[in-house]
């Protein structure tokens, strides 16, 4: 029996490997993975938002705004520099510098000190002196906002005319056309109204910063009016708690850690889903060909229907595993080639799936999932006479499988393990996906064992019933398949 | 000992009685014709012999045992509905079926190449089935049934769809298999093939056997008819079932269409005429053809000359 199963499986594999669609699919994923970051970088908007501040109150408000956004930008640079230094343990570059102290929120004083010591250029010079070979260079993120001089068109404009000119400027194709215009009136702060004109919906972070800065400016002026000196007013405004920040090292801990730890398990669940859909459709195509080419009778004269079905399942499983091996190989090569950030991500990502028990569990649920779903495809293939007829059965089956999985993966990405996740874990149709996806979050051993046993029982039962359906359907071509006939076939013993 | 022995076989599909108390046997080297109209139960019987479906009752003995896939190595089968994997080459297809029948790769390949050479397809051995003509593909399929030199060769409507040249090739293969001792059973609608090839025949109607025996025995099932020219009315002669005048008499000599009683030999009637001084100017005997027998026993539906 085994010999015939292997022969059928080998033929299935050869048939699928001879399909152009197989090779296209096999290459599409690595290509997409390779091109994704390149395209992402191309599509990423790294250009800072161009801002014009028309300050007719004397220029103090505009200066305050520019100073605030410059401070924010420098804080971002300090923060990312600090994480870079922490990741590659480069604190020896300058132990006293704020960017080698990772445990606090950077205050204005830190930023001043950073600027006074020469900013990012000086910091990078110090880092380069101690940076070991192989550690990538630090690349600061682009600044979020850039402030442009007031365009001539806006000078002297007021009211609706100002708005019209602003709109004209927004509509212009010029590279230096403003995207945001802030108008501070002549009577500011007596008249505290601020006009904000934006080409697109303004970012809330921008509006918040604007609000905070001008509020501070207003309050400083009001304090000064009440006899408090400018320096004292500024000190009051600058009073802020010193926040100590404790964050996990890069790629570890809390939410970031959860995501990183779930990367491999979620990818496994995705890959299982993708390769199943692909190899399932090829298996279906093979079954339909056997029926439509009327070669089943020749086959059934030599082998049992069960051998044919198991051979097909084994063939499909082998192709699926081959695809996954190729994809995993490509991912490994990509990780080795890029090292750096990806390697840093992969190390903690592989942690939850590196114990022998978990590796065994992955293999078990992966293979079991493959058999469970592939058997449905093979049975559909045995029931229909054409691919178009197959589509009719395939759509509801695919929806029933895929929709809950989509919700499941989203729930796990959001770090939730609610009722939906629990239910899907215990329903055999979705068990392999749920268990694989949950491995990163940690899954109790008893759940792993319990779902594994339930899944094995479900597959055994499925193979019995789908085996009957397969056998009863093989030679029943041209029959209209009613529910009654389907039930008869499910319960059919050998005719 | 018979290679195939079927006893009191019954197959019922819900309310339909597809095969009704059928018994027959096929001996080694024998070519056995399985004749019947559409829906007579021929394919159902062959499927039961192959264990693709199970009988409702009755027994089948194939090569001394119950039908089983383990006997696939000794059986060759060509189904009525033919088809192969379009993306597979001719030789790979033959090897695949050979291996499913338990042959090793080397033997299956060498036998496959022998068959392709015999079928004048050696140069197309590596061509995909999808790139071949229908006739070529049918020859490849025939090769898949012969690759294991079967002891029991079963061919379901093997001549349908074949051109005269390939029909001749198939006839040769049937004779070749029989000569090497294989039992050959084939179903057909085409009576001339059965007349040329079969040692024995079985006529099936609605699942029930109507006749089993040799071609001569089949012909004897129908009375002999003859044309006689005589002044005497033959209907009065013993053994004559009926005599109908044909055309006008010429000087008293009348042409008669004469039908004899079943089982009556024309010679005995001729002897009676001679002994009783009945003058005869013409005596043309016309024996029943297999086609006539088929039409008489099975009905005209689905029969080809």
Determine the distance in angstroms separating the CA of A3 from the nearest CA of chain B, rounded to an integer: 8
CB contact under 8 A, A293 and B86: yes
Note whether A294 contacts B99, CB cutoff 8 Å: no
Helix (H) or strand (E) holding B40: none
β-pair partners for B4: B26, B62
Residue given tokens 């149709």 in the structure block: A429
Average pLDDT rounded to a whole number, residues B255-262 = 89
* pLDDT score for A21: 83
CB contact under 8 A, B83 and A301: no
**What is the end-to-end Cα distance of chain B in Å, rounded?**
34
Mean pLDDT of A198-221: 84
Give pLDDT tens digits for B170-211. Answer: 999 999 999 999 999 999 878 888 888 999 999 898 889 988
Answer whether B97 sits within 8 Å of A495, measured CB to CB: no
Listed in sequence order, the residues at least 6 apart from A181 whose beta carbon sits closer than 8 Å to its beta carbon are: A51, A52, A53, A54, A154, A166, A169, A195, A196, A197, A198
Put simply, whether B75 touches A (Cβ < 8 Å) is yes
The residue with tokens 């009778």 is A297
Query: What three-state secondary structure class fits A97?
Result: coil
Give B57's DSSP letter: E
- CA B25, CA A390: separation in Å to the nearest integer? 43
Chain A interface includes B108 (CB < 8 A): no
B101 has pLDDT over 90: yes
Chain B contact probe: residue of A302, A477, A479, A492 with most B CBs at under 10 A: A302
More confident residue, A466 or A252: A466
pTM over 0.80: no
User: What pLDDT is recorded for position A261?
Assistant: 65
Do the Cβ atoms of A303 and B99 come within 8 Å? no
Same domain? For A149 and A271 the reply is: no
Same domain, A314 and A216: no
Question: Same domain, yes or no, for A452 and A329?
Answer: yes
User: How far is Cα B46 from Cα B19, in angstroms, rounded to an integer?
Assistant: 11
Cross-chain Cβ contact A289/B69 below 8 Å = no
Contacts of B2 (CB under 8 A, 6+ apart): B25, B26, B27, B61, B183
Q: Tell whether omega for the bond before A166 is within 30 degrees of 0, i.e. cis.
A: no
Among chain B residues, the shortest Cα distance to A493 is held by: B54
Identity of the residue in A304, A475, A494 whose CB atom sits nearest the CB atom of B69: A304
Residues of A in contact with B78 (CB under 8 A): 298
Are residues A298 and B144, on separate chains, in Cβ contact within 8 Å?
yes
Q: A485 or A95: whose pLDDT is higher?
A: A95
d(CA B115, CA B142): 9
Q: A387-402: per-residue pLDDT in tens? A: 888 888 888 888 888 8
Of A238, A260, A276, the position where a domain reaches its end is A238
Q: Quick one: A283 and A182 in the same domain?
A: no
Do A380 and A448 share a structural domain? Answer: yes
Chain A positions in Cβ-Cβ contact with residue B97 (cut-off 8 Å) = 298, 302
Which of the residue ranges A325-329, B23-27, B155-159 has the most confident prediction, judged by mean pLDDT? B23-27
Minimum mean pLDDT among A274-283, A330-339, B260-269: which range?
Answer: A330-339
- pLDDT score at A92: 85
Q: Provide the pLDDT for residue A254.
A: 47
pLDDT tens digit sequence for A162-193? 888 888 888 887 878 888 998 888 888 788 88
The answer to whether residue A41 is domain-embedded is: no
Residue whose C-alpha is closest to residue A245's, from A73, A96, A72, A83:
A83
Distance CA A31, CA B185 (A): 57
Give the confidence band of A339 by pLDDT, cuts at 50, 70, 90.
low
When CB atoms are compared, the residue of B47, B69, B144 closest to A303 is B69
- Is the distance from CB of B272 to CB of B263 less than 8 angstroms? no
The residue whose two tokens read 């995993």 is: A328
Neighboring chain A residues of B82 at a CB cutoff of 8 Å = 294-295, 298
Q: What pLDDT was estimated at residue A347?
A: 62
Q: What is the mean pLDDT of chain B?
A: 89
Q: Is B28 helix (H, G, I), strand (E, B) or coil?
A: coil
Q: Which conformational region is residue B14 in: left (phi greater than 0), alpha (psi within -120 to 50 degrees), or beta?
A: left
Contacts of B54 in chain A (CB under 8 A): 494-495
- The answer as to whether A364 is a domain residue is yes
Average pLDDT, chain A: 81
> pLDDT higher for A336 or A463?
A463
For A292, nearest residue in chain B (alpha carbons): B83
> Model confidence at A413, in pLDDT bands (50, 70, 90)?
confident
Q: What does the pLDDT average to over A436-444?
A: 79
Evaluate if residue A238 carries a pLDDT over 60. yes
- B294 vs B115, higher pLDDT: B115
Q: Residue A495 falls within a domain, yes or no?
A: no
| Domain boundary residue, one of A238, A268, A303 | A238
Q: What is the ipTM metric for this complex? A: 0.82
Query: What is the chain A residue with the closest CA to B74?
Result: A302
Mean pLDDT of A364-381: 87
Least CB–CB distance from B84: residue in A295, A300, A302: A295
Q: Show residues of chain B in contact with A297, CB under 8 Å.
A: 47, 52, 77, 79, 81
Indicate whether A216 pLDDT > 50. Answer: yes
- A297-309 residue pLDDT tens: 888 889 988 898 8
CB atoms within 10 A of CB B30: 19
Query: Chain A partners of B79 at a C-beta cutoff of 8 Å?
Result: 294, 297-298, 301
Q: Which of A184-198, A322-336, A445-459 has the lowest mean pLDDT?
A: A322-336
Residue with tokens 């480069």: A90
- Read off the tokens for A211: 């609000």
| E strands, A14-141, in order | 49-55
Query: For testing the chain B interface, which of A10, A295, A304, A386 should be mutated: the one with the most B CBs within 10 Å?
Result: A295
Whether residue A139 is contained in a domain is answered as: yes
Distance CA A407, CA A63 (A): 49
- Rounded CA gap, B140 and B95, in Å? 11
pLDDT given at position A245: 59
Q: How far apart are the first and last CA of chain A?
A: 21
Chain B residues in contact with A302 by the CB 8 A cut-off are 69, 72, 97, 100-101
> Quick one: A457 and A326 in the same domain?
yes
Q: Which residues in chain B touch residue A303, judged by CB atoms under 8 angstroms apart?
A: 69, 72, 100
For residue A300, the chain B residues in CB contact (below 8 A) are 50, 52
Residue A481's domain spans which residues? 2-34+252-490
Could you tell me whether strands B183-188 and B31-36 are parallel, antiparallel, or unpaired per DSSP bridges? Answer: parallel
Query: Residue A247 falls within a domain, yes or no?
Result: no
For B78, the closest chain A residue by CA position comes to A298
Distance in angstroms (rounded) separating the CA atoms of residues B1 and B29: 11
Q: Which one has a higher pLDDT value, A291 or B11? A: B11
> Distance of CA A15 to CAs A283, A288, A292, A473, Å?
10, 13, 16, 23
Name the residue facing B85 among A15, A300, A495 (closest C-beta).
A15
- Of A200-209, A252-261, B56-65, give the lowest mean pLDDT range: A252-261
Helix (H) or strand (E) holding A218: helix A204-225
Q: Is the pLDDT of residue A459 over 90?
A: yes
Calculate how close chain B gets to A313, using CA atoms only, in Å. 17
Partner-chain contact A11 B86, CB within 8 Å: no
User: A93 and A30 share a domain?
Assistant: no
C-beta atoms of A7 and B96 within 8 A: yes
Task: Please check whether residue B81 touches A, CB under 8 A.
Answer: yes
Asked whether the beta carbons of residue B96 and residue A300 sit closer than 8 angstroms, the reply is no
The burial of B80, by beta-carbon neighbours within 10 Å (0-12 exposed, 13-18 middle, 19 or more buried), is given as middle
pLDDT score of B124: 93
More confident call, A481 vs B290: B290
- Report yes or no on A76 lying in a domain: yes
- In the predicted model, is pLDDT for residue B125 greater than 90? yes
| CA-atom Rg of chain B in angstroms | 24
Q: Is A256's pLDDT higher than 60?
A: no
Task: Report the number of distinct structural domains present in chain A.
Answer: 2
**What is the number of CB-based contacts under 8 A between chain A and chain B?**
68
Q: Is the pLDDT of residue A11 over 90?
A: yes
Is residue A383 domain-shared with residue A429, that is, in the same domain?
A: yes
The CA-atom distances, in angstroms, between B208 and each of B11, B18, B66, B211 are 11, 9, 22, 9
Name the residue facing A495 among B54, B78, B97 (closest C-beta).
B54
Contact A294 B72 (CB under 8 A): no
- Chain A within 8 Å of B97 (Cβ-Cβ)? yes
Q: What's the CATH class of domain B4-219?
A: alpha beta
What φ, ψ does residue B19 adopt, rounded to 5°?
A: -130, 130
More confident residue, B54 or A294: B54
Chain A: residue nearest B130 by CA? Answer: A293
- Interface check for B50 against chain A (CB to CB < 8 A): the answer is yes
Is A187 found in the same domain as A292?
no
Of A297, A133, A126, nearest to B46 (Cα)? Answer: A297
**CATH 3.30.70-classified regions of chain B:** 225-287
Domain membership flag for residue A406: yes
Give the model confidence (pLDDT) of B4-53 as tens digits.
999 999 999 878 899 999 999 999 999 999 988 888 889 899 999 998 88
Query: How is residue A107 written in tokens?
Result: 């205050």
A178 burial (CB, 10 Å; 0-12 / 13-18 / 19+) is: buried
Sheet holding B57-62, edge to edge: B16-26, B4-13, B57-62
A43 within a domain of the structure (yes/no): no
Least confident of A40-44, B106-110, B194-198: A40-44
**Domain B225-287 in this protein, CATH class:** alpha beta
Helix (H/G/I), strand (E/B), else coil: A187: coil
What are the start and end residues of each CATH 3.40.50.300 domain in chain B? 4-219
Q: Do A28 and A52 belong together in one domain? A: no
- Which range, of A78-82, B133-137, B219-223, B254-258, averages the lowest pLDDT? B219-223
Identify which of B221, B148, B222, B197 has the alpha carbon closest to the alpha carbon of residue B34: B197
The per-residue DSSP string of A23-66 comes to HHHHHHHHHHHHHHHHHHHHHS--SPEEEEEEETT-SHHHHHHH
Question: Are residues A225 and A107 located together in one domain of the fold?
Answer: yes
Alpha helices in A88-203 (DSSP H): 108-116, 119-130, 159-171
Residues of chain B above pLDDT 90, percent: 52
Task: Using the 3D structure, point to which of A238, A268, A283 is the last residue of a domain.
Answer: A238
- At A251 the pLDDT is 44
A157 and A293 inside one domain: no
B52/A475 Cβ within 8 A: yes
């Amino acid at each position: 029996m085994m010999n015939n199963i292997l022969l059928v499986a080998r033929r299935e594999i050869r048939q699928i490997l001879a399909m152009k669609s197989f090779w296209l699919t096999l290459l599409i994923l690595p290509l997409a993975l390779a091109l994704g970051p390149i395209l992402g970088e191309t599509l990423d908007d790294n250009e800072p938002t161009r801002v014009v501040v028309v300050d007719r109150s004397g220029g103090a408000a505009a200066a305050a705004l520019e100073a605030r956004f410059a401070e924010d930008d420098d804080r971002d640079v300090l923060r990312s520099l600090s994480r870079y230094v922490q990741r590659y343990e480069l604190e020896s570059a300058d132990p006293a510098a704020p960017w080698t102290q990772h445990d606090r929120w950077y205050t204005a004083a830190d930023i001043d000190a950073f600027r006074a010591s020469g900013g990012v250029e000086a910091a990078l010079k110090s880092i380069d002196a101690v940076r070991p070979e192989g550690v990538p260079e630090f690349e600061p993120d682009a600044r979020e906002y850039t402030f442009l001089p007031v365009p001539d068109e806006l000078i002297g404009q007021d009211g609706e005319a100002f708005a019209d000119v602003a709109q004209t400027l927004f509509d212009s194709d010029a590279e230096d056309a403003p995207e945001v215009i802030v108008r501070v009136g002549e009577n500011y702060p007596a008249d505290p109204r601020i006009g904000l004109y934006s080409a697109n919906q303004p970012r809330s972070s921008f509006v918040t910063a604007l609000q905070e800065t001008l509020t501070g400016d207003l309050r400083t002026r009001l304090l000064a009016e009440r006899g408090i000196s400018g320096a004292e007013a500024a000190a009051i405004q600058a009073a802020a708690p010193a926040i100590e920040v404790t964050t996990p090292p890069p790629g570890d801990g809390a939410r970031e850690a959860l995501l990183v730890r779930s990367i491999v398990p979620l990818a496994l669940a995705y890959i299982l889903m993708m390769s199943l859909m692909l190899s399932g459709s090829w298996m279906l195509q093979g079954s339909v060909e056997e029926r439509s080419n009327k070669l089943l009778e020749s086959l059934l004269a030599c082998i049992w229907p069960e051998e044919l079905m198991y051979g097909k399942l084994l063939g499909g499983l082998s192709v699926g595993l081959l695809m996954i091996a190729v994809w995993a190989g490509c991912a490994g090569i990509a990780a080795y080639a890029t090292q750096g950030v990806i390697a840093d991500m992969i190390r903690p990502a592989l942690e939850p799936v590196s114990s022998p028990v978990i590796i065994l569990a992955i293999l078990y649920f992966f293979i079991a999932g493959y058999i469970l779903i592939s058997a449905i495809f093979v049975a559909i293939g045995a029931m229909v006479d054409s691919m178009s007829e197959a589509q009719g059965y395939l759509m509801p089956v695919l929806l029933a499988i895929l929709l809950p999985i989509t919700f499941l993966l989203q729930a796990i990405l959001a770090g939730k393990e609610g009722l939906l996740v629990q239910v899907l874990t215990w329903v055999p149709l979705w068990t392999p996906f749920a268990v694989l996806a949950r491995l990163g979050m940690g899954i109790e051993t008893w759940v792993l064992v319990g779902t594994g046993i339930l899944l094995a029982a479900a597959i055994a039962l499925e193979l019995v019933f789908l085996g009957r359906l397969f056998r009863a359907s093989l030679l029943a071509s041209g029959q209209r398949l009613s529910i009654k006939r389907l039930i008869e076939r499910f319960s059919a013993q050998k005719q | 000992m018979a290679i195939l022995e079927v006893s009191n076989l019954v197959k019922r599909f819900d309310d339909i009685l597809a095969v009704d108390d059928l018994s027959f046997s096929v001996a080694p080297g024998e070519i056995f014709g399985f004749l019947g109209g559409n829906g007579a139960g021929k394919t159902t019987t062959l499927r039961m012999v192959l264990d693709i479906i199970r009988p409702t009752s009755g027994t089948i003995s194939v090569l001394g045992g119950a039908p089983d896939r383990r006997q696939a190595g000794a059986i060759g089968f060509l189904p009525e509905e033919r088809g192969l994997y379009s993306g597979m080459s001719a030789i790979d297809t033959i090897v695949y079926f050979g291996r499913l029948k338990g042959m090793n790769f080397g033997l299956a390949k060498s036998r496959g190449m022998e068959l392709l050479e015999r079928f004048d397809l050696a140069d197309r051995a590596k061509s995909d089935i999808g790139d071949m003509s229908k006739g070529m593909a049918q020859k490849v399929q025939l090769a898949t049934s012969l690759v294991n030199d079967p002891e029991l060769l079963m061919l379901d409507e093997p001549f349908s769809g074949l051109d005269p040249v390939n029909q001749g090739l198939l006839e040769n293969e049937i004779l070749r298999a029989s000569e090497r001792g294989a039992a050959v059973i084939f179903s057909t609608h085409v009576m001339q093939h059965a007349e040329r090839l079969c040692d024995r025949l079985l006529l099936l109607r609605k699942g029930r056997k109507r006749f089993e025996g040799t071609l001569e025995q089949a012909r004897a099932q129908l009375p002999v008819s003859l044309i006689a020219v005589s002044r005497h009315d033959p209907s009065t002669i013993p053994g004559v079932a009926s005599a109908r005048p044909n055309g006008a008499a010429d000087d008293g000599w009348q042409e008669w269409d004469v039908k004899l009683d079943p089982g009556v030999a024309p010679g005995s009637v001729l002897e009676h005429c001679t002994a009783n001084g009945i003058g005869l100017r013409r005596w043309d005997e016309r024996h029943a053809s297999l086609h006539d027998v088929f039409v008489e026993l099975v009905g005209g539906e689905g029969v080809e000359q």
